[in-house]
Amino acid sequence: MHPSLVLLSARLLDPVTGRLLPQTALAASGGRIAALGDDREIRALAGAPTTVIDLKGAVVTPGLTDGHLHPVTGAELTHGLDLSGCGDLEAVREALAGEVRRLVPGAWLHAWGLDPNVFGDRPVGSAALSPVLDGVPATLLLFDAHSMLASPRALELAGVDGPRTFDQAAEVVCDADGRPTGLLLEDAACELVERAAPRPTRAESRDRLAAALRSMAAAGLTGGHVMDANGDSAALYAELDAAGELPLRLRVAPWCRPGADADAVRELIGRQGTGGALWRTAGVKLFMDGTIDNGTAWLEKPDCHGESTHAFWPDPQAYTRVIGELHRAGVPTATHAIGDAAVRHALDAVAGATAAGGPSVRHRIEHIETVPDDTLPRFAELGVIASMQPTHCCDFTRADHTDNWSRRLGEERASRAWRCRDLWDAGARVVLGSDWPIAPFPPLGVMAGARHRRPSRDLTQPPHGPEQALTALEALRAMTVNAAWAAGEEQEAGRLAVGCRADLTVLADSPLTTAATDLPELPVLLTAVDGRPTHRDASV
């Protein structure tokens, strides 16, 4: 049987050692790497149905995997006005005014990527954007996707005219007179307004998702650990997979929210392993807190506004019990924990679950934005994966700590930002990702950010916590070897070896010798998933 894909004249990069393999060619068959060798012997395996590509010395790595993605949500949320490039309030107003001029009267305005730092010392509220949004129903998603600004007209159409009570951490922020300011914190509050806005059709959602995934493949991604399965997500993945249009291998973890009863947990357990050829349900996503920027993280000491003092679960012990039940069922968990108290509680819950016995399960904690020293060794001790997004530090905080995140935390805690190096040195398995749509998904940018820790929009700016940078090899491992280990797939992914999956990323040069500041511009020449090209540059 002839291979489906043959790559010749390649430099095959081993992410374990950082060295090139002695072979120069690769053949893929049945979705696996079938042979490694020199050009002559691998070329001889090709037949009429084989796609043969001469890479002319390009570098092949195991397929790059994003450790934390939201493809369906991202495809929906990033449809509209992109405010992520607006560095001050005047730029936001100008962008909104231009969008309003293009709107049909009565239509909703949707925007995303709003940086709270543009408000400076002013409260984050819709009043700062008047009269630009006068009479216009508008939702402006803040960059963390945990909070939103709704215009007065949007609040009116949604019937939101005062504070609300929720069964999870969420808030309709109101002024001293009980009138909404427009700021909505966390999903439960945001959904009040989102329900009133027009929704995309199923066909629109499918097309947006397919386009986003194609862009990810073109950026060099072959896989992603998906941290939600809300709404029609699973059905959309299944539809694209069945049509042969799924260009990434996806590992999907549905959410478990506060208030989940025994039946809900059993349903999550029962969904494990379901999926298709290139996607499967594996794990459960939980939230221990919100975000530091909007005051909904869970900190051991309040932030400078007296906020971030509560867990997302009104009863944190209920979360602990759910972790125990999922652990006993052999289900890996991924817990969103940003604040130090949230991270500590998540680690305590895993420690209790493992101490009670049961199967070996690889649990994860997502984000880990600020933690004290005594937390670091516990990741390795408990085998908990540290899932990090360094570009959040690069683009949403500043080295001088004048940003909103740092000012809320204060100097001591802001100096413990995104401790990738400390966690790595403490023995933790560090996995890197983007958390798209919170930050851009191109994996070369994620690896670059882990190395330089500078704002991607201005690389001349100083780095935030340069002592926490990873090396080039560590960053590559975090998106290949470690991502495979986190998924329990280290025997079949994350390496260039016969029998491993033929999920491959081909770059114009080595990511190990390319300067961190130049890495995002390194051309991606080919991406292959299951031995099938999902992106091919015209040069190859």
Q: How would you write 448-505 as a 3-class SS string?
A: HHHHHCCCCCCCCCCCCCHHHCCCHHHHHHHCCHHHHHHCCCCCCCCCCCCCCECCEE
Backbone angles phi, psi at 37, to 5 degrees: -175, -165
Give the DSSP letter of residue 63.
Answer: P
pLDDT of the residue at 145: 83
pLDDT of the chain, 540 residues: tens digit per residue: 899 999 999 999 999 999 999 999 999 999 999 999 999 999 999 999 999 999 999 999 999 999 999 999 999 888 889 998 898 999 999 999 999 999 998 899 999 999 888 998 888 999 999 889 999 999 999 988 889 999 999 999 999 999 999 877 889 999 999 999 999 999 899 999 999 999 889 999 999 999 999 999 999 999 999 998 888 899 999 999 999 999 999 999 999 999 899 999 999 999 999 999 999 999 999 999 999 998 999 999 999 999 999 999 999 999 999 999 999 999 999 999 999 999 999 999 999 999 999 899 999 999 999 999 999 999 999 999 999 999 999 999 999 999 999 999 999 999 999 999 999 999 999 999 999 999 999 999 999 999 999 999 899 999 999 999 999 999 999 999 999 999 999 999 999 999 999 999 999 999 999 999 999 999 999 999 999 999 999 999
Report the distance separating Cα 64 and Cα 60, nearest Å: 11
69: left (phi over 0), alpha (psi -120 to 50) or beta: beta
495: left (phi over 0), alpha (psi -120 to 50) or beta: beta
For residue 3, give Cα distances in angstroms to 37, 496, 525, 531: 14, 16, 20, 9
Predicted TM-score of the model (pTM): 0.92
CB contact set of 158 (below 8 Å; sequence gap of 6+): 150, 192, 193, 195, 196
- Other beta carbons less than 10 A from residue 35's beta carbon: 16
β-pairing, 221-226 vs 64-69, is parallel
- Other beta carbons less than 10 A from residue 415's beta carbon: 16
pLDDT of the residue at 437: 93
Contact predicate 283/326, CB 8 Å: no
What letters, b where the CB count within 10 A reaches 16 and e where it falls short, cover 53-70?
bebeebbbbbbbbbbbbb
pLDDT of the residue at 23: 98
Structure tokens at 197: 């806005």
Report the distance separating Cα 147 and Cα 119, nearest Å: 15
pLDDT of the residue at 416: 95
Residue with tokens 């962008």: 95
pLDDT of the residue at 206: 95
Q: How many CA atoms lie within 13 A of 229 on its CB side?
A: 25
CB contact set of 292 (below 8 Å; sequence gap of 6+): 299, 303, 308, 338, 339, 369, 370, 405, 408, 409
- Measured in whole angstroms, the distance separating CA 345 from the mean position of its chain's CA atoms is 22
Torsion of CA 333, 439, 307, 301, to 10 degrees: 60
CB contact set of 273 (below 8 Å; sequence gap of 6+): 280, 281, 282
Give the residue among 282, 219, 277 at the shortest CA–CA distance from 245. Answer: 277
Give the DSSP letter of residue 149.
Answer: E
Contact predicate 53/540, CB 8 Å: yes
Report the distance separating Cα 412 and Cα 435, nearest Å: 26
Residue with tokens 């989940």: 260
Residue 288: helix, strand or coil by DSSP? coil
Structure tokens at 522: 């390194």
